[in-house]
Structure 1
Amino acid sequence: MTELTCFKTYDIRGQVGENLDEDIAYRIGRAFARVMKPGKAVTGRDIRDSSPRLQAALSRGLADEGVDVLDIGLCGTEEVYFATDHYGAGGGLMVTASHNPIGDNGVKLIGPGATPISRESGLQAMHDMAAANEFGDPVARPGTITPSDPRAAYVQRVLSFVETDKLGTFNILVNAGNGAAGPTFDAIEQALTEKCGSLTFMKLHHTPDGTFPNGIPNPLLPENRPMTGDAVKAARAGLGVAWDGDFDRCFLFDENGDFIDGEYIVGLLAAAILAQSPGEKIVHDPRVMWNTQRVVKEAGGEAVVSKTGHALIKATMREVDAAYGGEMSAHHYFRDFMYCDSGMIPWLLVLAHMSDTGKKLSELVEEMRARHPSSGEINFRLSDPESAVATVEDTFAQGGEIDRLDGLSVAYKDWRFNLRKSNTEPVVRLNVETLGDAALLREKTDAISKKLSKYN
C-alpha cells in the first residue's frame, strides 16, 4: 500500500496534480462512506479552479457507495458545518485549501453534528482504504447527488447571535480577498438591511476569482494587512473586516486602519458573549492568555485553557459546555454554532459590542494593549528545534512556573512566554506577553529570539 501524503492529522491537503487529484478525491469519497456510513452527506467547495472537479469526484465516490449527497456548491467551510447539522446528515466534506498556495487544494471532513474527524476517529482508516483502492464496483443502488441551498437558514443562524435592531450606525469596509466570502456576505447584508438600515458596507475584492488576482487571501500575514487597512482609512470606515479563502477566519481593523491582533479579539468576543450570558465558560489557547483571563474574570465568566487546534478546542468546549472558544490565530468557536468556528459571527458580535458600549474599536482594545502587551507570534525556522527549545528552557525557565500543556510555557509575575514546535516542519513559534510593561516585552522577546536564532 502506497501512502497518500495528502492525508494530514485532521484534514487532507496537497498539491493538485502531485499528491491530490480527481481519482484520489473519488477514493476519499468512497472511503468516507465506508468508514462513516453517513447515509446522507453534504459537500461544498471554495473558489479555487480545481475545486469543482474535486467536489464532483468526492460526490461520485460517496454516491457509488450508496450515500445521498447534498451539493451546496460554492460556500465557506462553516456553511458545510451548518448544513451537515441542519440537514441531519451523517457527515460533510468541504473542498478547500483556504489560504494555501494557489496550486494546493484539500478536503475538510466532519462527522454528524459537525463534529471533527481525526486520524484516531476515522481519518487513518479512510487513508488506508483510499490508498489500497480495493473498492470494487459501485453498489447496486447508487446514492443521489442533489443541489441544495441552506444559505437562508444559515444566515438566520448567524444573525441570531446579535440583536439587529440595537446595532448602531456604521460604515464598514469588507475585503473578501476574491475568495468564497462574497456571495455569503451579500446574503447576510441583505438580511441585515431588511432588519436595520443603519449599516453601510463598502466592498473590496468582493468577486470570487480562483486566480486570486490580488494575492492569496491571508490577512494574518503582515505584508497583506495594508491592503485592508489603507482601504479602511480611505473610506473613513468605522470597522474593517477581511477573510481568508474559505472565510473560517476573519480579521478586524479599527477605524484608523490598524490591525487588531487575534488575542485581543478573543478578549473582545469573550466580553461580548459574557455581556449577553454572564457566568459562561470561555475556552482559550495557551499561547497568549493573560488578557483573555482578566477580561473573562472581570466579566463574571470562567476561563478554561485548551491545547491549540480546532479539534482540541472543540473537544474542550463540549467537555465544559463553553459558550465560546477563541484562538489568537483568528479561529473563533461558538456553542450555538455546533461548537464550530465561524468567520461571519465574530465581526457581527464586535459590531454589537461597539454599539452597546458606544466605543470605537480602537478604544475597546486600547486598554487591552496597554495592560497586556504581546509580541505577536514569531516563527523561527531552525536546524535543530529540539535543542533550541531545550536551550531556551535552560536559560529562561529558572524560577518560573512551567506548564507543558501545549509546548513550553513559562510564567513569572510580570511576564510569560510560550514556545511551541510545529508538528509538520522545523519551525518553533514564540509568543511573549507582559503585565503592562512594553520595555520588558521588548527585552525578553529580543533575548529569547537571539537564543533561538543561534540554531538557524
Structure 2
Amino acid sequence: MSTSATNGYQPATEFDPIVIDSFKAYDIRGELGVNLDEHIAYRIGRAFAQILFQRYQAAVANQASDDMVNLQPAIVIGSDIRHSSEPLKQAAIKGMIDAGVDVIDLGMTGTEEVYFATSHYHALGGIEVTASHNPINYNGLKLVKEHSKPISADDGLAEIQALAESGQFTKDNQSGKLQLLTDKGAYIEHVMTFIDTDKLKPLKLVINSGNGSAGPVVDLLIDKLIQAGAPLEIVTLHHTPDGNFPNGIPNPMIEANRIATQQAVLAHKADLGIAFDGDFDRCFLFDENGEFIDGSYIVGMLAQAFLNKYPNEAIVYDPRVIYNTEAVIKNHNGKAVISKSGHSFIKQVMRESGAVYGGEMSAHHYFRGFFYCDSGMIPWLLTIELLAITGKTLSELVTGYIHAYPSSGERNFHLTTQDAPTIIRAIEEKFSVQKPTKSTLDGLSLNFGAWRFNLRASNTEPLIRLNIESRGDEPLLATKIQEIQQWLALQGAVPA
C-alpha cells in the first residue's frame, strides 16, 4: 500500500457558520466558485467523516451488530476526470483526515468503483467527486455509508449539511492516515461475475467513453473478455480521459451527443453501440442500426433477462414510464415494485424488497449482486450475453416493446414564469374532469388507461421533466405530446 499526499490546500483554523446550498435530495451538486469550492468540500468531508466515525464508535461501545462493528474505520474516495475534481477531492480528504478518520484514495474512478470499494474494504462510507453529465463549471459529491448504502436528505444528508454549515467540528488529537489504493483488479473480477463468458459469440462493439472516466475500466474489462476467449471486436471512441471534454460533456441523453456513436455503429457495421456519461454510472445502448434505445425499454429487456434466470424475483422500477416494464414483469411472473426515481430511493426500495434488479429510464441500472448499487458496466456485459444466448439483434429484442408501448422519451423544460409545483397543480386541475388514476409518488402521474403521463421537477437541475406513453397507439401518443407541450408553453415552460 502506498501513501498519497494531499495538495497545498490549507483549511481555516476557525469555522464561522455558512450556508451551503449545493445539497440536493440525494447528493451534492454545485456551481464552482458559487456554491461549491475547496473550502466547502473540506467542510463536507470533515462533517461526513465525523458523523460516520461517531456512529461507528457508538456501535463498537454498545457491542452492536456485526453490521457496524466489523467495519474498517476508514472512508474511500475517488474522483472523475474533471480538472476541478482532484482539488475538491484533496480538500475533502484533508477534512476527513482532520476528523481523525483514515482515508483510502482510489485515484480517478467512476462512481460505481466507490460503491464497490466501500463494501470491498468494509469502509465506513465512500465519496465520489463528480458532476457526471453537468456543464464544465459544475461539480459535486456522491456519498454512501457503510455497505454502500445510500444517504439521502431524509437519512443523514441533512445532518451532514447542518454540521458542515455550522462548522462545529470536534477536535481530534490524532489525524487520520491516507493510503493510495488504485488497483482495480478486485472490482473488475466482481463485475465479470455477472456473465458467463463461455456463452459469448462473435460481436463487434462500438464503445464511446465520452473522454470521461470510463476508458481505463473498459480497457480492463475488454482484456478480461479477450483472455477468456470472448470473440469480440472492439471499436473505441472518445476513449482517452480528458477533463477538457474535447468532444463535449459526456451526456448521451442529449440527442446531438449521440451522433458520433450512431455514425460509428453504421460505419463499422457494429452489432451494438455503448456510451457512458462522465462517471459511467449510466449506460446507453444503440442497436445495430445506430438507433438509440430509450432506457425504459432496456429496463424491460434486463428485467426479462433476470426473471428468466431468477423466477418470481422482485424488480424495482421508477414511475416515469411504466407500461412496458409492468407488462414484462407480469408476463414473466415477477414481482413489480415501484419506487420514486433517484438512486437513493431505488436502492432503499431494492433492499427492502430484496429485488434482484432495478432500473430507471434515465439509464441507471441497479443490481442486488452489486450491493444494490447502480453500475454502467454491468448492463452492456449483460446485453452482449443476452445477444449471444438469444441469437437476436438488439433491435429484435426491443422492437416488440417499442411497438406495444410507444413513449415520448423524457422532455425537459425550463421554467420562466411559474415554479414547478404551480404547474403541476395546474395540469392536474386541467385533466381532473377525465378522472384519471393519480399518483404523486414522484411528481404527478395521471393514467387514463390508453395513455398516461408523468410530470416532475428535476432533483438536480432547474427543469421540469415530462414523459408520455400509450398502449400501442402512436397517433394518440403524438396528439398528447403536442397537446401537453402546447399547454406547458402557455405556462412559460420552454423546451430545454
- Both structures adopt the same fold (TM-score exceeding 0.5): yes
1:376 partner SS: coil
Matched residue, 1:107? 141
In the TM superposition, what whole-angstrom CA distance separates every residue of 1:399-442 from its partner, at most 9, and x where no partner exists?
32222222222222321111223456664322111111111111
- Residues 18 and 254 of structure 1: is their aligned pair in 2 closer, same or farther, counting only changes over 3 Å? same
2:423 is aligned with 1:388? yes
TM-score (norm 1): 0.96
| Identity value in percent | 52
- Tell me by how many angstroms 1:82 deviates: 0.2
State the distance in 1 between where 2:313 and 2:235 align.
35
Confirm or deny: 8 A CA contact 2:210 2:249 kept in the other structure: yes
- Residues 447 and 242 of structure 1: is their aligned pair in 2 closer, same or farther, counting only changes over 3 Å? same
Confirm or deny: 8 A CA contact 1:36 1:122 kept in the other structure: no
2:368 is aligned with 1:332? no
In the TM superposition, what whole-angstrom CA distance separates every residue of 1:280-322 from its partner, at most 9, and x where no partner exists?
1101111111101111122221211111111111111111110
Q: Which AA in structure 1 matches 2:464?
A: V
Match of 1:256 among 280, 289, 293: 289
Match of 1:199 among 213, 232, 256: 232
State the distance in 1 between where 2:359 and 2:25 align.
21
- Residues 64 and 232 of structure 1: is their aligned pair in 2 closer, same or farther, counting only changes over 3 Å? same
State the distance in 2 between where 1:368 and 1:281 align.
20
Match of 2:131 among 75, 97, 102: 97
1:239-250 equivalences under 5 Å are 239-250=272-283
In the TM superposition, what whole-angstrom CA distance separates every residue of 1:157-187 from its partner, at most 9, and x where no partner exists?
1111111110111000000000000001111
State the distance in 1 between where 2:462 and 2:112 align.
31
TM-score (norm 2): 0.89
1:40 partner SS: strand
1:82-231 equivalences under 5 Å are 82-135=116-169, 139-231=172-264
Query: Which sections of structure 2, spanning at least 5 residues, go unmatched?
Result: 1-16, 57-72
Confirm or deny: 8 A CA contact 1:272 1:350 kept in the other structure: no
State the distance in 2 between where 1:277 and 1:304 align.
16
Matched residue, 2:20? 4
State the distance in 1 between where 2:484 and 2:343 align.
28
2:173 partner SS: coil
State the distance in 1 between where 2:454 and 2:24 align.
24
Q: Which AA in structure 1 matches 2:42?
A: Y
State the distance in 1 between where 2:446 and 2:25 align.
27
Match of 1:443 among 479, 486, 494: 479
- Tell me by how many angstroms 1:123 deviates: 1.9
In the TM superposition, what whole-angstrom CA distance separates every residue of 1:129-169 from its partner, at most 9, and x where no partner exists?
222334375x3321111111351111111111111110111
State the distance in 1 between where 2:422 and 2:87 align.
45
Query: Which sections of structure 1, spanning at least 5 residues, go unmatched?
Result: none
State the distance in 2 between where 1:424 and 1:73 align.
25
Q: Which AA in structure 2 matches 1:388?
A: I
State the distance in 2 between where 1:2 and 1:133 align.
8
Q: Which AA in structure 2 matches 1:113?
A: H
Match of 2:340 among 289, 307, 323: 307
2:414 is aligned with 1:378? no
Confirm or deny: 8 A CA contact 2:297 2:325 kept in the other structure: yes
1:168 partner SS: coil
- Tell me by how many angstroms 1:66 deviates: 1.7
Q: Which AA in structure 2 matches 1:374?
A: S
Confirm or deny: 8 A CA contact 2:197 2:230 kept in the other structure: no
1:172 partner SS: strand
- Tell me by how many angstroms 1:340 deviates: 0.4
1:240 partner SS: strand
1:90 partner SS: strand
Match of 2:34 among 9, 18, 22: 18
State the distance in 2 between where 1:197 and 1:163 align.
10
2:336 is aligned with 1:277? no
